Structure 1
Amino acid sequence: MRTVGVEEELLLVDPDSGEPRALSGAVLARVEADGADTDQDVFEKELFGQMLEFATHPQTDMAALGAEIVRCRQEAARHAGEIGCAVAALATSPLPVSPTITMNRRYRWLADQYGIATRDQLVCGMHVHVAVHSDEEGVAVLDRVRPWLPALLAISGNSPFWQGDDSCYDSYRSRVWDRWPSAGPTELFGSAERYHRLVADMVATGVILDEKMAYFDARLSERYPTVEIRVADVCLRAGTARLVAMLARALVETAAREWRAGGAPPDHGVSLLRLAAWQAARTGPRQELLHPLTMRRLPAGAVLRDLLGHVADALADAGDLDAAREGLDTLLAQGNGARTQRELLERTGSLRKVVSACVRLTQE
């Protein structure tokens, strides 16, 4: 059974005004002072002081992974509450914000190199690490999961608002993230040697700092023996995060089986994959998506159910098929985080109240 780990980036906000607060350093100091062994290697600072990241431990059981996501969110809320702020699983701030860059050498380089593109990156994502047995298997997986990743983006979409306005996107975070020169979908690699050579050539240009900046939608982790799927928004509800992780593991397992059986990956070009990602970011599961195999529009529900069918064997073998079906049915019925945020605004008329409600939903 492949292990799965999740990294989530959370927004630190004022519990009364809903405005982001640059207090990650203070929150991490509270974590250290608390002395809980389970939290010492869980929470980390991020590019901006208004963000806090956590990472779960590798899990094989999806119920255990879901429980750990909830626990980490609740612990983040507890530590933040001790210094007078709150955490929200929001991929962008609904309210206007002036980001505060965490000033270490790496982040200073980013600010100097990319200017306003760096200052705009106060966005929160979710990364899913799925174990692979070798770099060769990992690259074979990367080649085969490419067209399915926009479906995960549609499910996770949780960033409809940008600087106080409705962006008209379900995932505006992904549009901001793609301003990095190394972000987005990739061409077919074909082998681990070609993957590593491309990353080395990218670093050698001097445009990016190091291999950590290969911000592909999915990549080989430079720290762990995993494929890291990086396409998703941080999900408003922990249950949606669990669904994304479940589908990500099943996609990796399905791709590895296809590779071992000699199946060729779909050969869609990067231009088509960018269009599929744009469509997923624009409307999420509300309207239409580009089907991963044909790259033609179909109702989003049909595409997501085809995703479930594509990975059904892997889900069944892991004991996750019923849970995945239930999770997808729930997602299609209640919508993603973007829909919830828009419904909250329609009901309350206040983006501040949207943030307050999302603080509560984050910990459920």
Structure 2
Amino acid sequence: MSPEQSPPDRAVGRTLGVEEEFHLVAPGTFDLTPGPGAAAAALAGEAGPLVHPEIATTQLETASGVCTTLAEVRADLVAGRAQAAAAAARDGLVLLPASTHPWDSWHTMPVTPGERYEAMVDRWAGLARQQDICGCHVHVGVPDLDTAVAVLDRARPYVPLLLAMTGSSPFHDGVDTGYESWRTLWWTRFPHAGAPEPLGDADGYRRVLAGLVASGVVADGSHLYWDVRPSARLPTIEFRLADVCTTVDDAVLHAALVRSLVRVLAGRAERGEPVPEVRPEHLRAARWRAAREGLGGRLFDPLRLELVDARAAVGGLLGELEADLADAGEWDEVTALVQDLLGRGTSAARQRSTWLRTGDRRAVAEWVVREGAAGRA
């Protein structure tokens, strides 16, 4: 979502947008491969209006426009993937929509030339150079920073379940990590990643940000790597916790759930309902369990302090969002997408089953490329 596209809007959740990041691989071998032509075109704004560069030349990012309906989100996701695929084709490459590559790693990822990326490497050194992961970010429109902070404070217990529904990174450096979202563990190495403690209001956010800037960890709010953060340049709250979704359907579902949750939590804040009390240790445990299990086992509820069946947890979330989704005319579409996801499993689960069936990691990469491309038809 570019600032130029963002009209002023006082309604919580009327607008939303989605950013997706992709690896670039060579067709046939599916090796992670630099795309200097694609990166240069993206840097110059010549790869399509929805395509942007990423920190490595083996990656591309897409960003939807400002959307108001799920149909618009879907159309922009399809268009963005098509534009990114065309940019990748400049270098004879294709998109791999998974958060980690099945065998290659940061060793084969040249940093994209550009002031922003050079500054990131200068600030974070090896952490920046080893950022061989891709994610999916959802922006939801909010009227002001106080609303964004109120939602952020209340969203913390929901982050693990949303993560569990999007895992696409079971492999790293050629090893089955045993996780559905290894990206989550890799990302958490940054000192400013994860979920912040409750901030209270806009002034509380500003104080925390000022301290982080003073420490040198970040230059400004655009470099906060929190799971959920107020956008530094848009009138939105941004959910950054998800692995990149292999299929367009899963990306649409994630965006729909995030927007509905924002509307519901903003309503609770407006009614003066208190921020849920969650110990940071319990929240980290819930986040770890979600990254480990995905939808295939039991998750940890950081409020009730007990393990719950993942499917039951999804049902509980839908129950909390049902009235809002019904009012928005999105209930039928969202529940159909949820049932489809529960029926086939996450990308991570299907990648692992492909590996177990074939013993061939190239078959895994081929499946990811094929499944992701199907959404561009």
Q: Quick check: 1:243–1:328 contact (8 Å CA) kept in 2?
A: yes
| 1:76 counterpart = 2:84 | yes
Partner of 2:176: 166
Q: CA 1:133 to 1:239, structure 2 compared with 1: closer, same or farther past 3 Å?
A: same
Q: Quick check: 1:92–1:124 contact (8 Å CA) kept in 2?
A: yes
- TM superposition score normalised by structure 2: 0.91
| 1:331 counterpart = 2:341 | yes
Q: Quick check: 2:278–2:302 contact (8 Å CA) kept in 1?
A: no
Count the aligned residue pairs: 360
SS at match of 2:194: coil
Partner of 1:304: 314
Q: Quick check: 2:37–2:90 contact (8 Å CA) kept in 1?
A: no
Return the letter of the residue paired with 1:315: L
Q: CA 1:113 to 1:222, structure 2 compared with 1: closer, same or farther past 3 Å?
A: closer
Partner of 2:29: 17
- TM superposition score normalised by structure 1: 0.94
Listed as ranges, the matches of 1:1-364 within 5 Å are 2-23=14-35, 25-29=36-40, 39-40=48-49, 42-97=50-105, 98=107, 99-364=109-374
Instruction: Kindly state the Cα deviation for residue 293 of structure 1 after the two structures are TM-superposed.
Output: 3.2
Structure 2 unpaired stretches of 5+: 1-12
Q: CA 1:135 to 1:35, structure 2 compared with 1: closer, same or farther past 3 Å?
A: closer
Q: Distance in 2 between matches of 1:194 and 1:103?
A: 36
Instruction: Kindly state the Cα deviation for residue 120 of structure 1 after the two structures are TM-superposed.
Output: 2.1
Instruction: Kindly state the Cα deviation for residue 2 of structure 1 after the two structures are TM-superposed.
Output: 1.4
Q: Quick check: 1:13–1:85 contact (8 Å CA) kept in 2?
A: yes
Instruction: Kindly state the Cα deviation for residue 32 of structure 1 after the two structures are TM-superposed.
Output: 8.7
- Cα deviation, 1:283-333, whole Å, max 9, x if unaligned, reads 101001122531321110011111111111211111111111111111111
Q: Quick check: 1:200–1:211 contact (8 Å CA) kept in 2?
A: no
Q: Quick check: 1:13–1:87 contact (8 Å CA) kept in 2?
A: yes
Instruction: Kindly state the Cα deviation for residue 201 of structure 1 after the two structures are TM-superposed.
Output: 1.1
Return the letter of the residue paired with 2:67: Q
SS at match of 1:363: helix
Instruction: Kindly state the Cα deviation for residue 96 of structure 1 after the two structures are TM-superposed.
Output: 2.2
Q: Quick check: 1:28–1:43 contact (8 Å CA) kept in 2?
A: no
Q: Distance in 2 between matches of 1:231 and 1:200?
A: 23
Return the letter of the residue paired with 1:148: Y
Q: Distance in 2 between matches of 1:47 and 1:301?
A: 36
Instruction: Kindly state the Cα deviation for residue 211 of structure 1 after the two structures are TM-superposed.
Output: 2.2
Instruction: Kindly state the Cα deviation for residue 35 of structure 1 after the two structures are TM-superposed.
Output: 6.1
- Cα deviation, 1:219-243, whole Å, max 9, x if unaligned, reads 1000100000000000111100111
SS at match of 2:148: helix
SS at match of 1:198: helix
Where has structure 1 moved over 4 Å in runs of 4 or more?
A: 28-36
Q: Which of 27-36 and 141-150 deviates more?
A: 27-36
Q: Quick check: 2:42–2:53 contact (8 Å CA) kept in 1?
A: no
Q: Distance in 2 between matches of 1:307 and 1:278?
A: 19
Return the letter of the residue paired with 1:71: A
Return the letter of the residue paired with 1:13: V
Q: Distance in 2 between matches of 1:332 and 1:158?
A: 15
Return the letter of the residue paired with 2:201: S
Return the letter of the residue paired with 1:82: R
Instruction: Kindly state the Cα deviation for residue 350 of structure 1 after the two structures are TM-superposed.
Output: 1.2
Return the letter of the residue paired with 1:354: V
Q: Quick check: 1:188–1:267 contact (8 Å CA) kept in 2?
A: no
Q: Which of 296-305 and 70-79 deviates more?
A: 70-79
- Cα deviation, 1:177-224, whole Å, max 9, x if unaligned, reads 111110001111111110111111110112333322211110100010
Q: Which of 342-351 and 149-158 deviates more?
A: 342-351
Q: Which of 305-314 and 5-14 deviates more?
A: 305-314
Q: Quick check: 2:42–2:52 contact (8 Å CA) kept in 1?
A: no
Q: Distance in 1 between matches of 2:54 and 2:32?
A: 14
Structure 1 unpaired stretches of 5+: none
SS at match of 2:56: coil
Q: Distance in 2 between matches of 1:271 and 1:100?
A: 36
Q: Distance in 2 between matches of 1:54 and 1:207?
A: 26
Instruction: Kindly state the Cα deviation for residue 267 of structure 1 after the two structures are TM-superposed.
Output: 1.2
Q: Distance in 1 between matches of 2:223 and 2:90?
A: 34
Return the letter of the residue paired with 2:134: C
Q: CA 1:115 to 1:79, structure 2 compared with 1: closer, same or farther past 3 Å?
A: closer
- Cα deviation, 1:45-96, whole Å, max 9, x if unaligned, reads 1111111001001111102211221221122112212320000111001012
SS at match of 1:342: helix
Identity score, percent: 38
RMSD: 1.8
Instruction: Kindly state the Cα deviation for residue 113 of structure 1 after the two structures are TM-superposed.
Output: 3.8
Return the letter of the residue paired with 1:27: A
SS at match of 1:123: coil
